[in-house]
Structure formats: C-alpha cells, structure tokens
Structure 1
Amino acid sequence: MEIPQLSWYSVLFTAASLLFIFFLWRRQRRTGFPLPPGPPSWPLVGNLFQLGKRPHESLYALSLKYGPLMTLHLGMKTTVLVSSPAMAKEVLKTHDHILAGRTVIETAKALSHHKSSLIWGEYGPYWRNLRRISTVELFSTKRMEALEHLRRDQVFRTIRLIFEEKGKVVDIGRTVFFTSLNSLGNMIFSTSVFDPNDPASAGFKDSIWELMKLGGTPNLADFFPILRFLDPQGVSRQTAKHFKSMYDFVDFFIQKRLGPACESVEATDSKKDFLDVLLDFRSVDFTLVDIRALISEFFIAGTETTTTTIEWAMAELIHNPQKLNRVQQELDEVVGCNRRVEESDLDDLPYLHAAVKETFRLHQTVPLLLPHKAESSCEIGGFLIPKDTQVMMNVWAIGRDPETWSNPSEFVPERFLEGENRKIDYKGQNFELIPFGSGRRICPGLPLASRMINFVLASLLHSFEWVLPDGMSCEQMDMADEFGLTLKKAVELKAIPMPRLPHHLY
C-alpha cells in the first residue's frame, strides 16, 4: 500500500523530533541533571510568541509559574532566564568563570565591531586586556578625580543654558543627553563634541540614537542564524551605516591627535584624557581600529543609559512632590543657597543616593541585561546549563520581587535608609540591585555613570524648581515605559524651570 507524500513528511518530522528528544535525554542522563523547567514551545519558533511587546513583563509572569531559573526556546537558541537575586548570584558570582561568555547579537557584528568590543567581545586574553585598561586606566578613582573639572564645567554650562531660557519648557531627557555627550567628549577628546550648528556633530548624535534603537530591535537573524546572510529586516545594513558614520567622526579626533601639531605636546599623566591613555597602550595587539571601537562604545553606552536614568529620577521626584521636597531640603542643608553643587558634596547627600537607588530598582535602564553565554556545561540549582546556552537576567523582575521588596511598584527612596536595605548598593555585590550587572561582565563605566547621574540630578534639583507645563498636576503625569534595549519613558518628561538660587550663581 502506497503511503501518501504528506504522511512521509509527518513520519520524517516525528522521527527527527524523537531523535532530538533521545539525544537530549542521553545528555541529561550523562550529567544527571535536567534542564530548568519552562513553558511548552512551538516547533521552530519556540517561545517567541510568548514574549509579546513587553518581554520584561511577560517573562516575569512566566517565571512566577516556572520558577526563577527557566528554560525558553527563542527560535533556534536555548535560553535560560534568571529572575531572582539568589539565581543571579549563582550565575554572576558562583559560576561567573563559566558564564562570562557573551551571545553576540547581529547588530554588534556590523563592520566586525564585536571583534574589538568590550561589551560584545569574546571572553579571553584580548577582552581581559581591554577590561584591565578600562578599569585601571580610564575609570579609576584617580582618573575620575583628575577629570572632575571637565564634568563640572559641562554641567554648569547646562545649568546656565537652562537659566537663560527664562522659564521656557525644557525637554529634560534631550537636555541631559547633550550634557552627557559633551561631558564624555571632554573626558575623551578634551573638547565638546556636540555643536547643533555643525552637521558632523549632529550626525554623530543621530548615529548614537539610531544605534541604540537598532540594538533594541527584535531581529529574526538573532533567533534564526540561518537567515543571517539575508538580513531580512535590513537591521545589519542600517547598523553598518551608522557605525561607519560614528567611526569617521571618532577617526577625525584620533588623526588630529596624531598629527604633527600634537607630536611635541605630551600631557602629564594627571592631565591625560582617555584618548591620550588609549594611544599610550597602542600596540600590534591593540590598534587604532580597536581604540576607535572602544571610544565609540563609550559614547553609545555612556549617554543613553545615563540620560534614561536621570529622566526617570526627575519624573519620579516630580510625580512625588514630598520626595522632591526632601531631596531639595537635603541639598539646601548640605550645599546651601550661596554656591553650586560640587561632586565633593555627593557623599553627604544620603537621601539623593537613596532616590537614585530607588530609580535603578523601579526603572532598570536595561531591563534584560545583555546576554551571557555558557563557555562549558555547568549545574545550577540542580539543573543543567548546557554549553553555548544563552543566559539572560530579568533585572526588572528582580527589582519588582515582592519577596525582596515591600510595596515593589511604589517609589519609596526611604527603603534604602532603613534596616538591612541601607547596606544595599548597585556596584555588583548586592544581587537584589544589579542595574550594571556583576562579576567579570559588570559595566566598567559604573564609577563614571554613578558620578554623572548623582551630580547632574543634584544640580538640576538644587538650581531649579520644576513645574509641569499647561497646568498639569503631578497626578496626571504619564509614567508608562517603552521597551527597547533601554527602558525609556514612553512620553518625554518636559517641565518649566524656576530658579532657586541667586541669579549671579548661574
């Protein structure tokens, strides 16, 4: 009897499925551990349809059913999702040496950027050298203190520009973005990099925005590597275009520094900017191409994330007037009204720090930290994490965990001034609050980001009262977020500044 052709396809599909299950069973039998539990998945697409438009929330809901260590099949990628402080500690501390790899998204491969990348680089000797240079030479306490005057001048310039607008509505996110961009530019190149009248710098700013947007775009080629060469959504092509624009801009400053006019000028170590330091380390294994890529990443990672956090902090404080009043009262007591805030004041502002911590908890800048990868198989919590598995952290879920935080959906800075929570910080040792990650892959720019966020926020709140436009009340504010690579405020925060200090201080 002849079997219809469709039946043959069914037989082959069933046989292939059984073979896959058999090999998975054999591997688990050898290790003695099963994969973490997880929701049933569809053939080929796996659990992709369960992510929805707000994956951080969808995945949190799934974790409540399947546990804080959960297996997902995202297209052709096996993924383990972490959703609790205890499991985060297992991944980022106990098994950090095994899980320090990185799953590289396709956009990071544009123009071979990932090969010179600190963010996306393969864990190994080259990456460790990049990490050492960044941590020891660029973001050390000594270097941060040496370049403090550059950050101060840029923040004071922003405050003066806001004052000169004389009560006009200010787009806080946009204003902070340009402040961060020029602060970084001064620290890297000893000059501001954004001039609205210069097409090149305007294009550089646009490239940063577009690269952040493209990095957060769901890309079919990430879930189905077989589609990589097709680039069906054109994401890689667009990314390459913006990387090229950014590289050209950075190359201009590098070549200018290497030109004849600069050869005879050698800065002392205390006055070296980031570019000076990086050029000192130039070698066969660390070329100008690598320096260009590293500088580009500093701008991409150091502007959008800082901007998003400050905008959320300002929004929450304006939305909660009593909390805002307490921050400003603290500033008046410590700084007074006869001078401007300095970075040296920050250590004496515990409530401001508590407000920043609460912002990190409630509005994680990167809700799903960049994906790790298992360099070899390991066991966590009695479950198998196979080699090459993608491991993701839902830090948004960790920040909303009711077993860790009371009233987790409310903005309560006071929680960090009371009881055991006083000891919690965001520098990678307290896994209840890890907006910058932890372990080997913790963000090396954390020292700079912490200084900038606290200093800019303190300056904005000390210098001005902020009134919502069009008679809007704080209760009417839209506090919704928009998912992407960063969790931005869905509606930009705009407010009218009213000076709080004597006019000669502006």
Structure 2
Amino acid sequence: MATFLPSTPSLDLHRIFLTALAFLASVFIFLLSRRSKSKRLNLPPGPPGWPVVGNLFQVAGSAKFFFHYIRDLVSIYGPIMTLKMGTRTMIIISSPELAHEALIQKGQIFANRPRENPTRKIFSSNKFTVNSAVYGPVWRSLRRNMVQNMLSTTRLKEFRGDRDSAVDRLIDRIRAEADSNHGVVSVLKHVRFAVFCILVSMCFGVDMDGDEIERIDKMMKAVLITLDPRIDDFLPILAPFFSKQRKRTNQVREEQLQTLVPFVEARRSALKNLSSNKTAASFSYLDTLFDLKIDGRKSVPTDEELVTLCSEFLNGGTDTTATALEWAIARLIEKPEIQSRLYEEIKSTVGDRKVNEKDVEDMVYLNAVTKELLRKHPPTYFALTHAVSEPVKLGGYDIPMDANVEFFVSSIGDDPKIWSDPKDFNPDRFLSGKEDADITGVTGVKMIPFGAGRRICPGLGLGSLHINLLLARMVQEFQWRATPTQKMSDFSEKLEFTVVMDPALQAVITARK
C-alpha cells in the first residue's frame, strides 16, 4: 500500500504542531538549505505548501480520504503532480501514458523502493521482503523464490485440496449465519476468513484448528494497524512525541514473533518426519525459505526473517482478495441481470456438480466480470510506492532519487479517454474486443490493479484464481439480494488496509435449488 497519512488527523495534532514549533525553528535554516536544492529541480506542479512542513498538515487536516483529496488535486494540477510532505517529496502519477513510460519503458530505473520509516523497518526486517527490498540481489532472490517455487502453476495445483476445503467451509459459514439471522449475512468477514485459511495452509503446511487461525489473523491485523503512517514519519523531529507509539510497535513485533515462531518450528520439525506425519502438508512456502540462498549473503534467513516473509505472504493476499469479493457481490446485487447471466454460465459449464478451479479458467463471462471488478474497484487505490535508482525525467519533469513515486491506479482505471462510460460497471466491455486491457500493463497501461513492470505483484495469478473460484461458488450456491436498509446506489468507501464498502456489505441470500 502506498505510504501516506490517514485521512483524518489525530485529535491532538494541533497541540503537537504548536509544541514542535520550537524544534522546527532550530532546524529551519538546515531544512531551507535542503529545499533550495529542490527548487533547482523542475518538479511537477502541485499545491503551495507551508514552510518546512509543505503540504503535510493540509493533507492531514482534510476531512476527505486521501484518495478523494488526490482526485480533486488531479483535476487542478494534471496527470503528474508534487506534494511536499515534510521531509519527503511525493510525486503522484495518474496518467496511463506516464505510468507506462515509468513502469515499462523505464522500468529498471523506477523499480526501487523509497527509504522506510523506522516502524516499517522493524516489521520488514530491514527491507527483507519481496515488496520492500531494494531493487538488487536480495529482491531478486526473494522474488525468484516466491514466483518459481511457490506461485508457479504446478505449485498452485498442489493446494487445490486446501482451496476446496476452505471454500466448502465458507459456504457452510454463510449458510449458518443466514439460518440464524433471517437470511442476512456479512460478506466481507466470511470471504476474508476463507482466503486467510487458504494462505495459512499454503504458508505453514501444518494442521491448525479454527481458534489458531483466528489468533494468527488477529495478530496480523494488529501489525497492519501498527504500520499506519504517523506524522513523525514525515517530520522525524517530532519523534520524541511518539515514544508510546514506538513502544507499542516493539510490543506488536514481539507478539508477532511469539505467535508465528512456534509454527515455523513446528514445520521444521514436521519436515524431518514428513513420511510418518499424516497431518502435515507435503509442501509449504516455509519449505522454500529454510535453506534459501540469498545473493550476496552467506547465511540463510533467521527465524525473525522467516516470520517477516510469512507475514508478507499472508498480508499480501488476504485483504486485497476479500475486498474485491465484497465489491463483486455488491455489483451483482446492483445489477441482477449480471448475476443471472453469471449463474447461467456456471450451470451450463458444470451442471449440478460443484464448480472447481479448472472450470473457472474456461468461463468467459466470469473472467470478464472479474476483470471489470478489478478495473472499477482495485483493492488499493495506489500501487506500492516506487522510487528511482537514479535521477530521471518523466513527462518533462525531474524525478529525484529521494522522492516517493505513487501511481494512482484508480484514476487510470476510470480514465474517460481510454474507457467508454468508465463509471458504469459493464463486463461486456471485455467481450466486445474493443476495450480489452492487458492487466499486466506490458502492452499498454489501461488498468493496473496489481501494479506493473518489474515490481508487479507476484501473486497476480493466485489472487485472480481466488476471486474467480470463490465468486463462482458463492453465486452457484446462493442468490444474492440487498437488505431493505442497504443502499446500492452510492457505493461509499473507506480505507481499512484496503478500500472497503462503507458501511460493510450486508446481503440477503437464498439457497439455489
């Protein structure tokens, strides 16, 4: 997720700002000297900011969500613009042409990551993850291992049983809630748990009960909350005012290690007796990490680093997929004709048996629905933050090495210059052949829900599979309708790790006959 401030400021923001003025004054000359360097650069345009803090408090003090705030600015400053966020420079790109130039044509230069704040360094083991690693040997080793040894087509087939079990459990949980709640179910919580169960099985390869999975999930949510950006990430001089938050960060990291290291040890032990251990899976993501050789390093990953890599695997695929499925059900409720057409495709493909993941590969309309879903509702509205490895020009402007480069994927997917009626949810646009899009962005950027270029999400295939499979089973088993109190016209949204519906989707289900 892109690095930016929460949409609403903390209650004591102004007190912190006033108290910090004395400190800011003492370094004013130093910061101005740094600003003088940026003035010599031809940066993209942007809103005027305050001395020293730039646009930081304008953003933090806005009543709007960050992506709504940026949408307004795009209409004023154009497809590439600059925000000065304290000591950081943020460059936001919302043009498909500029995104393609940066991520594809100049992909090697734009493949880096910016400097991390201290909190993120703790949870990334000093940038020892696929997503956070500096573009170089460590990143290549970690990504190659994940893609080739875990996310290849052959490997994914090994986890079909885990997916089938999790989807069956999802259907049972939905049915049970409906039976006890007059047919009404909460969509997001159920699909999120199902996806998390699949990823836990793939990651650890050891048998767990529901309580253990819930405990891991609770801990992972605590990690994500702790990673929310703070004011001192952009103004390090304010760090003394956030000592309690830093203490909490260390506590959460310790809880993360205490929760996950036992499962790391359990898998290590299971591998020694795999032939006699009937509850252990034959393969897991952890198996690829225990003896992983990292280019430029002599040692294999430590237990702390293993926890970090496993956490990345779990976090990267849970909320993004669950969010997409919540929006998918909402859109099917909004347009019953799409839901009916999808159900007919499922029935004509599989008859009365359960739809499986091999079936969904051949369902043309289902894949069109998923593609339109990702165009209209990318799970996060910004790609993970990029940085350049050397100063470069983009769109005639200077991109310095210390800038956070953000790609506004939501704006690209809604661009009226490349999409007809972009506000309309219409899967048929992908069946006509006139508006198809390469989801990887290689042949041209029109939608990039998984990013694009060298740092494209390695879980693109897995995420698409999970969306297709779970959506197909949910439609096969149930007809979905709105509750009397749920308005399906405005599709309000809010940020909770990913962009979710506000309020969360409640739906009425009827079992199919």
| TM-score category of the 2 structures, normalised to the smaller one | 0.7 to 0.9
Structure 2 unaligned segments of length 5 or more: list them: 1-24
Question: Does the C-alpha gap of structure 1 residues 407 and 17 become closer, same or farther in structure 2, counting only changes over 3 Å?
Answer: same
* Conserved 8 A contact 2:203-2:284: yes
3-state DSSP class of the match of 2:305? helix
Question: Match for residue 464 of structure 1?
Answer: 478
Question: Match for residue 498 of structure 2?
Answer: 486
Question: Match for residue 64 of structure 1?
Answer: 75
Question: Match for residue 31 of structure 1?
Answer: none
The residue correspondences of 1:7-18 to structure 2 (distance < 5 A) are: none
How far did residue 156 of structure 1 move?
Answer: 1.8
* Conserved 8 A contact 2:205-2:267: no
The question of 1:186 aligning with 2:194 is answered no
Question: Match for residue 5 of structure 1?
Answer: none
The question of 1:309 aligning with 2:324 is answered yes
The residue correspondences of 1:27-426 to structure 2 (distance < 5 A) are: 27-28=40-41, 34-51=42-59, 52=62, 53-103=64-114, 104-110=116-122, 113-165=125-177, 167=179, 168=181, 169-191=184-206, 193=208, 195=210, 198=211, 200-215=212-227, 217-228=228-239, 230-231=241-242, 234-259=244-269, 262-265=271-274, 271-281=282-292, 284-336=299-351, 338-422=352-436, 424-426=437-439
Question: Does the C-alpha gap of structure 1 residues 481 and 236 become closer, same or farther in structure 2, counting only changes over 3 Å?
Answer: farther
Distance in 1 (CA, whole Å) between partners of 2:250 and 2:490 is 35
* Conserved 8 A contact 2:381-2:409: yes
Distance in 2 (CA, whole Å) between partners of 1:15 and 1:184 is 51
Question: Does the C-alpha gap of structure 1 residues 490 and 166 become closer, same or farther in structure 2, counting only changes over 3 Å?
Answer: closer
Question: Does the C-alpha gap of structure 1 residues 310 and 105 become closer, same or farther in structure 2, counting only changes over 3 Å?
Answer: farther
How far did residue 114 of structure 1 move?
Answer: 3.6
Distance in 2 (CA, whole Å) between partners of 1:49 and 1:21 is 18
3-state DSSP class of the match of 2:46? coil
Deviating 4+ runs (over 6 angstroms)? 11-18
How far did residue 497 of structure 1 move?
Answer: 2.4
* Conserved 8 A contact 1:330-1:349: yes
Question: Does the C-alpha gap of structure 1 residues 355 and 193 become closer, same or farther in structure 2, counting only changes over 3 Å?
Answer: farther
How far did residue 121 of structure 1 move?
Answer: 2.0
Question: Match for residue 10 of structure 2?
Answer: none
3-state DSSP class of the match of 1:88? helix
The count of corresponding residues between Structure 1 and Structure 2 is: 473
Question: Does the C-alpha gap of structure 1 residues 111 and 151 become closer, same or farther in structure 2, counting only changes over 3 Å?
Answer: closer
3-state DSSP class of the match of 2:130? coil
* Conserved 8 A contact 1:57-1:397: no
3-state DSSP class of the match of 1:318? helix
How far did residue 296 of structure 1 move?
Answer: 1.0
Question: Does the C-alpha gap of structure 1 residues 309 and 111 become closer, same or farther in structure 2, counting only changes over 3 Å?
Answer: closer
TM-score, structure 2 normalization: 0.85
Letter in 1 for 2:370: V
* Conserved 8 A contact 1:121-1:127: yes
When structure 1 is superposed on structure 2, of 179-188 and 277-286 the one drifting more is 277-286
Distance in 2 (CA, whole Å) between partners of 1:292 and 1:19 is 41
Question: Match for residue 3 of structure 2?
Answer: none
3-state DSSP class of the match of 2:109? coil
3-state DSSP class of the match of 2:110? coil
Question: Does the C-alpha gap of structure 1 residues 359 and 441 become closer, same or farther in structure 2, counting only changes over 3 Å?
Answer: same
Question: Does the C-alpha gap of structure 1 residues 17 and 125 become closer, same or farther in structure 2, counting only changes over 3 Å?
Answer: closer
How far did residue 247 of structure 1 move?
Answer: 2.5
How far did residue 185 of structure 1 move?
Answer: 1.5
Question: Match for residue 14 of structure 2?
Answer: none
